[in-house]
Amino acid sequence: MEMIKIFDTTLRDGEQSPGASMNTEEKVRLALQLEKLGVDVIEAGFAAASPGDFEAISRIGEVVKNSTICSLSRALTKDIEIAANALRNAKHKRIHTFIATSKIHMEYKLKMKEDEVLKRACEAVKLARSLCEDVEFSCEDACRSDVGFLKEIALAVIEAGASTLNLPDTVGYRIPSELGSLIKEMKECVGDRAILSVHCHNDLGLAVANSLEGIKNGARQLECTINGLGERAGNTALEEIVMILKTRQDIFKGLDTRINTKEIYASSKLVSDITGIRPQPNKAIVGKNAFSHESGIHQDGMLKNRETYEIMKASDIGIIESDGLVLGKHSGRAAFRDKLASLGFVDISQEALDKAFAEFKILCDKKKEVYDEDLRSIMSAESISIPQVFELVSLQIGNCSNGVPHAAICIQKDGDKCVDAAIGNGSVDAILKTIDRISGYNGVLKDYKVEAVSEGKDALARVVVKVEFDPNKPALIGHGLHLDTMFATAKAYLGALNSYLAMKELIKHKNMGV
């Protein structure tokens, strides 16, 4: 079998998706899941972009052992040195440097001529290679670049030390036959001197089809993201490309990946829980409806022979069928642990288990039946470990159709309880204003999402907010899970505030050289 390297850029290009920013803890959790999934290269961020990215890459480099950790860097000395520094503790590391090669980018964005771009690219690769064995070079907007220039720069950067040459369709412009021809021509030029890589954007909905054509024509690295997250319309979806290669072995004979497909669902779920961005229900492979059959004719066919309407099994991507057991207030610790194991939560520390069990018991007092989705959400909320500077103690809201919406909140900070109240344009506004008054920080709510975790009128509410506390810093995501939507809102907002304080603390330490 010839291996296709899977290069996951959920933490870098995926994070560039509107509303998808993640904090360091979340990035580390996701990187560990990507390692479990069997990803060859994890692009963990763009180290020079922010102290948060630098910190996340460093931490991921310390904990992930089986995947190569990569940092993006422009073709600039400073960026490359920062990338090398962020990767210093990684067991397997890669510097990924890039510069644009299309006429439009060189003329208007870079204001550089071809020869200057070529020189800059070679210098960047040489420097990166002096700091790291494994160097990838990308010709940004390769698919709109002059092929003659692409060949010239490809040979030069390989000579300078790049072992992977990536040819991105940065604006998602190409159709499969065109992309295939480009990769074929570049493969003839480069031969086996470097691994050719494809990185496709989905602006015309062709990212996956284009990536496949790249593989057919000689590319041996695929750049992709979980759930197809990414700039604008997103990137090639990892789960789609991997399942195509697996399901259509008749066409892609002899080609394989290291991906453990049974970890696909867990990876997709983690990305959507962290970012609050759910795949559309009819999304291939990981959408809610991807394996459900509504029509009577289909259901009948399925009962007679699953293969009448199913080309893959839900279990292939790790969807564990519910064992039908619903937990409730009389369920003990052993039943709880067994249930978690049946949902795939096996390597849980005693501390995490105790915390989750306590949450479960609180929930049981309020809710008759606790469903699998409730437990998954508890587990996912429990593993977020940002220091809780501000903690919600209690919340009261008052609002009736002709009244003045108001909130009274008690928050704990450093062991002290502070209580205050405010009025607002609706309950959410009153809650956020009250928290601002107590904390002394003024957040601007950029996004607010609420969804029911499971079925029934008493379903848990999951709220995801995106809040900007400083116009010069990225907005931060906060999550809240509670039976009461307004309580979940307050928890989510405080979560974003706690993430902001953790980020400020980090920047302070960095500036002090700690």
Task: Summarize as ranges the residues that interact with Zn ion (CB under 5 A).
Answer: 13
Give whole-number Cα distances, 140 to 269, 379, 387, in Å.
30, 40, 39
Are the C-beta atoms of 138 and 124 separated by less than 8 Å?
A: no
Q: What is the DSSP letter of 401?
A: T
- Residue 129's contacts (CB-CB under 8 Å, 6 or more residues apart) are 135, 160, 161, 162
Consult the annotation and say whether 330 binds a ligand.
no
Structure-token match 């009448």, residue found: 308
137 binds ligand KIV (CB under 6 A): no
Least distance from ligand KIV to the Cβ atom of residue 98, Å? 5
Least distance from ligand KIV to the Cβ atom of residue 108, Å? 16
Q: Where are any strands of DSSP class E within 11-131? A: 41-45, 68-74, 93-100
138 binds ligand KIV (CB under 6 A): yes
Nearer to ligand KIV, 97 or 380 (CB): 97
Over the window 163 to 192, marking each residue x when it contacts ligand KIV by CB under 6 A and - when it does not, the resulting string is: ---x-x-x----------------------
Are the C-beta atoms of 268 and 237 separated by less than 8 Å?
A: no
Consult the annotation and say whether 235 binds a ligand.
yes
Least distance from ligand KIV to the Cβ atom of residue 166, Å? 6
Nearer to Zn ion, 13 or 136 (CB): 13
Nearer to ligand KIV, 40 or 382 (CB): 40
Are the C-beta atoms of 189 and 153 separated by less than 8 Å?
A: no
Consult the annotation and say whether 13 binds a ligand.
yes
Cα–Cα distance for residue pair 460/438, rounded to 1 Å: 27
Over the window 393 to 422, marking each residue x when it contacts ligand KIV by CB under 6 A and - when it does not, the resulting string is: ------------------------------
Nearer to ligand KIV, 98 or 487 (CB): 98
Residues from 368 through 387 that contact ligand KIV (CB under 6 A): none
Are the C-beta atoms of 25 and 56 separated by less than 8 Å?
A: no
Least distance from Zn ion to the Cβ atom of residue 214, Å? 14
**How many residues of this chain interact with ligand KIV, rule: CB under 6 A?**
9
98 binds ligand KIV (CB under 6 A): yes
Nearer to ligand KIV, 46 or 336 (CB): 46
140 binds ligand KIV (CB under 6 A): yes
Cα–Cα distance for residue pair 427/401, rounded to 1 Å: 12
Give whole-number Cα distances, 496 to 49, 350, 491, 502, in Å.
21, 27, 9, 10
Least distance from Zn ion to the Cβ atom of residue 16, Å? 8
Q: Which of 29, 174, 199, 491 binds ligand KIV (CB under 6 A)?
A: 199
Determine whether 8 is exposed, middle or buried from the number of CB atoms within 10 Å of its CB (0-12, 13-18, 19+).
buried
Least distance from ligand KIV to the Cβ atom of residue 168, Å? 3
Least distance from Zn ion to the Cβ atom of residue 180, Å? 19
Cα–Cα distance for residue pair 188/99, rounded to 1 Å: 23
Among ligand KIV, Zn ion, none, residue 367 binds (CB under 5-8 Å by kind): none
Structure-token match 């204001």, residue found: 111
Structure-token match 């867990």, residue found: 266
Consult the annotation and say whether 53 binds a ligand.
no
Residues from 271 through 290 that contact ligand KIV (CB under 6 A): none
Q: What is the DSSP letter of 107?
A: I
Are the C-beta atoms of 419 and 440 separated by less than 8 Å?
A: no
Least distance from ligand KIV to the Cβ atom of residue 240, Å? 18
Nearer to ligand KIV, 168 or 495 (CB): 168
Beta-carbon neighbour count of residue 416 at 10 Å?
Answer: 7
Nearer to Zn ion, 48 or 370 (CB): 48
Are the C-beta atoms of 46 and 261 separated by less than 8 Å?
A: no
Contacting residues toward ligand KIV, per CB under 6 A: 13, 98, 138, 140, 166, 168, 170, 199, 201
Binding-site residue ranges for Mn(2+): 13, 199, 201, 235
Binding-site annotation: residue ranges: 13, 199, 201, 235
